[in-house]
Amino acid sequence: MNKGLFITFEGADGCGKTTQLEMLAEYLQSKGYDIVITREPGAKGLGEKIREILLNYDGEVSDRCESFLFLADRAQHIDMIVNPAVEAGKIVLCDRHTDSSVAYQGYGRQLPVERIKMLNAIAVNGRNPDLTIVFDIDVETSMSRVGKERDRMESAGQDFFNRVRQGYLEIAKQEPQRVKVLDASKSINEVHKDVIKLVKSLF
């Protein structure tokens, strides 16, 4: 393979996507592929500082400011980490990306979805995922997995997370080619098999 791939993992907090990303990375590495694991917000360097503000700042943060911080992190991440890796022929597995802004800031915080999409387009500057996997699960289950220790975003409440979930399903409906929804209430191994099936369709 001479062109890299960019695969993003999406879903509400507690959906199990990070575990699935790690399992896929191990699987692909065992087949000899060169894998880069990364995340938003805060892959490394400046991004980690932005992440710290987004998740732990305990003063008031306006919804618009929150959106721009995620977008600033995204622009840095695309330029410094994602593009160089994809251009070098690697497979980049990214824990959250543009659809998190649409689902959380658009549907969750109820900012205008079309504007978030437009700002996303500016932040990614033409780099779009080859595949996005949404791990869908009901809100009660995902929140019970998150537990009682919650960061600033995880403390947003049940209604917020219901909107986030609906947001992801809406995104998948609008972009069925790129965005695939998996039932994340299945066992870890069953979900892993579903992930592999989707990724194999890219080769």
Residue ranges binding ligand TYD (CB under 6 A):
13, 18, 40-41, 55, 70, 95-96, 100-101, 104-105, 153-154
CB of 86 to ligand TYD, least distance (A): 18
CB of 154 to ligand TYD, least distance (A): 6
Residue number, 13 or 194, with CB nearest to ligand TYD: 13
The token pair that represents 55 in the structure block: 């998740």
156-190 as b/e, with b when 16 or more CB fall inside 10 Å? Answer: beeebbebbbebbeebbeeeeeebbbbebeeeeee
CB of 126 to ligand TYD, least distance (A): 18
Strand partners for 199: none
CB of 119 to ligand TYD, least distance (A): 10
The token pair that represents 53 in the structure block: 């503000």
Residue number, 40 or 136, with CB nearest to ligand TYD: 40
Residue number, 75 or 88, with CB nearest to ligand TYD: 75
DSSP H helical ranges for the chain: 17-30, 46-56, 63-77, 83-87, 98-100, 113-124, 139-146, 158-174, 188-200
Distance CA 81, CA 84 (A): 6
Phi and psi of 194, rounded to 5°? -65, -40
Hey, what amino acid is at 106?
A: G
Edge-to-edge, what's the strand order for the sheet holding 131-136?
35-39, 91-95, 5-10, 131-136, 179-183
CB of 67 to ligand TYD, least distance (A): 8
Residue number, 38 or 100, with CB nearest to ligand TYD: 100
The token pair that represents 71 in the structure block: 């977008």
Residue number, 4 or 41, with CB nearest to ligand TYD: 41
Residue number, 1 or 68, with CB nearest to ligand TYD: 68
The token pair that represents 39 in the structure block: 């995340």
